[in-house]
Amino acid sequence: MELFNDLAAWAWARHHNPLSWYIRPLFLLPYCYFAWRRSAWGVGLTLIALATSMAWFPAPAVPDPRAAEFLEYERQYLLAPWTPLKILFALSVPAFLACLAATFWRRSWRMGLFVANAGGLLKIWWSFYYGGESGWSVVPAAALGLIALNSLVFWALYRHRSTKSRD
């Protein structure tokens, strides 16, 4: 148990690094791409990368105060007793990822973008609901992920349609 606690403390300190906050939403790009290409391996590897990415970067020497405040709210939330609502929120994450993969797997880019944007906005809402003003620390990374995904999907559609019209 001590090893687990040490590992959790090590990862939690690294989770304070802003790079881990910005890279995680960007994993939606390969995740959706691999779902579109119907690559279960790619989707699975992206999920592993997503799950481990919070510990990829070193712990910051001086954590951002707002991010530290938000992460303290998050820690308190995770350590508090698990209620049915909390279980529902926890299950919403794998449900979101499953729906996102399923929509792109079925080649429904409209529904995929709907799911991605709804999930991103719900993440932001949850951050403010549980983290108060410190929820603002989540907004730039979440917005970057959504902007990148939306832009890439629309760019891919534009390229596909312009290539198709030349044929």
User: For residues 20 and 56, is the Cβ–Cβ distance under 8 A?
Assistant: yes
As a whole number of angstroms, the distance between CA 34 and CA 44 comes to 9
Q: What is the pLDDT of residue 111?
A: 94
As a whole number of angstroms, the distance between CA 23 and CA 1 comes to 30
Q: What is the pLDDT of residue 87?
A: 92
Split at pLDDT 50, 70, 90, the class of 76 is confident
Average pLDDT in the 65-89 region?
Answer: 88
Average pLDDT in the 50-62 region?
Answer: 89
For the chain, report the end-to-end CA distance as a whole number of angstroms.
62
Give the best-scoring range by mean pLDDT among 11-15, 39-43, 59-63: 39-43
Helices (H) and strands (E) in the chain, counts: 8, 0
Full DSSP string of 14-55: HHTSHHHHHHHHHTHHHHHHHHHTT-HHHHHHHHHHHHHGGG
User: For residues 120 and 93, is the Cβ–Cβ distance under 8 A?
Assistant: no
Split at pLDDT 50, 70, 90, the class of 167 is low
Compute the mean pLDDT over every residue in the chain, rounded to the nearest whole number: 89
Q: What is the pLDDT of residue 160?
A: 78
Split at pLDDT 50, 70, 90, the class of 102 is very high
Residue 123 has pLDDT above 70, yes or no: yes
- Helix/strand/coil for 127: helix
